[in-house]
Structure 1
Amino acid sequence: MSANPQPSTTEPAAPERRPPGYGAVFAVPEFRAVFAAHVLSLLGVIVSEIALSVLVYRLTGSPLMSALAFAVGFLPYLLSGTLLAGIADRYPARRVLVTCDLLCATAAAAMVLPGTGVGVLLALRCAIAAIAPVFAGTRAATLSDILGEGDLFVLGRSLLRIVSQSVLIAGYGVGGVLLALFSPRQALVITAVTFLSSAVVLRLGTRRRPARSDGKAALLKASLSGARQLLGHRRIRLLMLLFWMPPMFSVAPEALVAPYTDSIGAGTVALGVLMCALPVGTIAGEVYAGSALSPATRSRIVVPLAATTLLPYLLYVVHPGVPLALVALVASGLGSAYTLGLDRWFIDAVPEDLRGRAMTLLQAGLMTIQGVGMAAAGAAAEFVPVQYVVAGAGAAGTLCVALVLAGLRRTDRTEE
């Protein structure tokens, strides 16, 4: 499989120039529609997670079943992202996006029905989760059609990540307020409405574009063939790993925040503050890199930021109090700005006819590996003090990222 020429991981991809900034992205009408739909669907997912967890607990009285209502959101990602990825290239993007939203709205509406049992509720939650990577991959791929393959695409991807982190910070609070005003099933009506509204915005706000592939092969075959091609290409595989490795280890403090705050004698306020610290750092890093740095500079900082973004977790060795732990988490979040330059490397590396499948597989892997990271951190904390688990995640993650970066450097030399 051939790939387009790549910017070196050690040399800037283009001469310095004034970056266009996020305003230039919002000036594109179609992107505004995609952005609005993204916010709506995110709110729908968050409200459904909270409402479903509460509903399942009220129906069963089981904390385990309530937690499972959250956990099942991760389970289908890898399977559907691999087996259904071909949808993103096989059909026109707008049709895929609108259909995904309508299916999610239908699933949420079915949750509202009074006779819907716990097993069906969890199955419907799995269905929404299975649709998510196809939707996210298709949306990411169509951004290159809407914004082009240059810097506007990178900034568009950045904006979607920023709003995802922002909605996570605010969304659970909004969900809590909604459940104070409405029953869980009534809150699920809001979820159905947000998905339906997202479908309408995408249908009216974006234009129809043809599919990227001819669709002659069976869907499963096309999906698996695309995954083999992408993962079989050394540079693309390493770029995916560079997207996945830091998040896999960075979730350790989040997964263990409750036992950690308990170990330092902090209360629920401190727990909430620590939960917000990493997203706040991530948002700040993305906003600065996207608005103040040129494309060439963002390319240059990929390697140093990726290599060091997990190092602040080593501060946990000293069992820090809330202030120092906050510093570590915010500093680690700032390092996530490496993804802006990495987005450009990735879109340059992936052939256009595989772009939808590449973005779907990338998203599926990202969500899956974060779930694996959370589970691994929790398992390790059964045997090792929490602070050492977090510090160990920082050390192990830094080593894994260094190995990936070394592999990328070798691909640079072979392409020179």
Structure 2
Amino acid sequence: MATTTAHRAARGGYRPVFRVREFRYVFVAHLLSVLGIVVAEISLTVLVFRATGSPLMSALAFALGFLPYGLGGILLAPLADHRPARSVLTACDLLCAGCAAAMVLPGTPVGALLVLRAAMAFVAPLFQGTRNASLGDILGPGDAFVLGRSLMRMVAQSAQLVGFGLGGLLLTVLAPRTAIALTAAGFLCSALLLRYGTRARPARAAAGTSAGTSVGAAATLAGIRAVLGERRLRALTLLFWLPPVFVIAPEALLAPYADAIGAGTAALGVMMCALPVGTIAGELWAGSALGPAARSRMVAPLAAVGLLPLLVYAVRPGVPVVLAALLAVGLAQAHTLGLDQWYVDAVPEELRGRAMTLLGTGLMAFQGVGMALAGLAAEFVPVHLVVVGAAVLGTAVVLLLLAELRSATRGSGPRSETGHTAK
């Protein structure tokens, strides 16, 4: 079934992926949970501000969606391979549903609200890593897996565009706690879809591990060493982690840049949508119009030039040019589909869950680092020059990583027609 799906996906773009019954359940569950998180973030921020009157506490409620993510990804990563995927996914959804339900209770104090939000963020990387790894079991490790991953990313990007508007609209007719109740319902529905819509499969790394070492610090460190210790896999991982440090810079600085050029809030809102819209459009095009070999061939060229449109910031352009530049940067992210295939081919099956969990954790962490560094640099350097510097440094980093990957690939064996090492 998985092999047949991969062949069909190569010919028909995204449509054959949706013909897989299990994937349809996973896709709908993902949509429900992502929208639920976005609604919860907005509602909780409003709820905490109304309860405390403190902008700091309100911002902390939002930040707690990110801060525990890295810790959870590191500590919980072994569970992605050492426990059955369906059990892990269902348990994470039920935990998040319980946390959201507890937020709805009228007597829940602000401190408890923050702890509950942190708990939801803590298990998020385990859920995402396990789900991404399980796509390989549902769709097979070939092109169908790449397209499935692409669809999941596009859902997440679209949720950021639609979800915040939907959340704001909900709060005009619902109290924040009532809106959060919808989040709890969404997670509960997601848990039911995953429990009854996907097959029970054994843990992929259960064999050969003892109960005492299957999870915990030792297993976590072993997983990190396995992912980052192999030269080619390390280069691929860094190609996912490091470019976002620089891609995020213009987004992080859009508000001060808009103020510097005299753009209003409406223009700021449009500019904030440009990069994710470009990313979604690029992935849709690559997934629908190109086959695996073509997507593999475009990884290096698109990654190498992906940040160069930001060089137009050197002349402090107006809104139309900034929109075009951000759209172009987003479109260049289409290379991620080919990179996904290289990555899943390089990761041993028994390590896939931990590798996917660590990949998502690092991606989130490095995006946060990129935001912080961009803001820090803008304290001392004009915003437009910070963006130009990010483009130059980011391009240099990408070129060095591509050279390292090429060298590691030459040293690891023959290459297949899609550009990655033959297995």
The answer to whether the superposition gives a TM-score over 0.5 is yes
Q: Does 1:228 align with 2:228?
A: no
Gap regions ≥5 residues in structure 2: 1-8, 414-423
How many equivalent residue pairs? 400
**Where do residues 211-360 of structure 1 align in structure 2 (5 Å cutoff)?**
211-214=203-206, 215-216=209-210, 217-220=213-216, 221-360=218-357
What is the DSSP-based 3-state SS (H/G/I as helix, E as strand, rest coil) of the residue aligned with 2:242?
helix
Q: Scaled by the length of structure 1, what TM-score is found?
A: 0.94
Provide the rounded CA distance (Å) in 2 between the counterparts of 1:24 and 1:204: 22
Q: Scaled by the length of structure 2, what TM-score is found?
A: 0.93
Which position in structure 2 is the counterpart of 1:75?
A: 67
Stretches (4+) displaced over 6 A: none
Q: Does 1:126 align with 2:123?
A: no
Q: Structure 1 residue 224: deviation in Å?
A: 2.0
Provide the rounded CA distance (Å) in 2 between the counterparts of 1:325 and 1:126: 35
Provide the rounded CA distance (Å) in 1 between the counterparts of 2:10 and 2:175: 51
Gap regions ≥5 residues in structure 1: 1-16
Provide the rounded CA distance (Å) in 2 between the counterparts of 1:321 and 1:345: 38
Q: Structure 1 residue 254: deviation in Å?
A: 1.6
- CA distance 1:226–1:18, change in 2 (3 Å): closer
Q: Which has the higher contact order (CA 8 A, sep 6+)?
A: 1
Provide the rounded CA distance (Å) in 2 between the counterparts of 1:390 and 1:50: 28
Q: Structure 1 residue 218: deviation in Å?
A: 4.1
Provide the rounded CA distance (Å) in 2 between the counterparts of 1:169 and 1:63: 24
Deviates more, 1:283-292 or 1:159-168: 159-168
Provide the rounded CA distance (Å) in 1 between the counterparts of 2:174 and 2:235: 47
CA deviation map 1:156-197 (0-9, x unaligned): 011111111111111100000011111111111011111111
Which position in structure 2 is the counterpart of 1:392?
A: 389
Which position in structure 2 is the counterpart of 1:26?
A: 18
- Root-mean-square deviation (CA, aligned residues, Å) is 1.2
Which position in structure 2 is the counterpart of 1:14?
A: none
What is the DSSP-based 3-state SS (H/G/I as helix, E as strand, rest coil) of the residue aligned with 1:289?
helix
Query: What residue identity is the alignment partner of 1:219?
Result: V
Q: Does 1:108 align with 2:108?
A: no
**Where do residues 142-221 of structure 1 align in structure 2 (5 Å cutoff)?**
142-214=134-206, 215-216=209-210, 217-220=213-216, 221=218
Provide the rounded CA distance (Å) in 2 between the counterparts of 1:189 and 1:323: 40
Provide the rounded CA distance (Å) in 2 between the counterparts of 1:412 and 1:225: 23
Contact 2:79 2:126 in 1 (8 A): yes
Query: What residue identity is the alignment partner of 1:96?
Result: V
Deviates more, 1:149-158 or 1:112-121: 112-121
CA deviation map 1:67-103 (0-9, x unaligned): 1111121111221111110111111101100100000
Query: What residue identity is the alignment partner of 2:375?
Result: G
Contact 2:39 2:179 in 1 (8 A): yes
- CA distance 1:18–1:36, change in 2 (3 Å): closer
Q: Structure 1 residue 18: deviation in Å?
A: 5.7
Q: Percent identity?
A: 64
Query: What residue identity is the alignment partner of 2:380?
Result: F
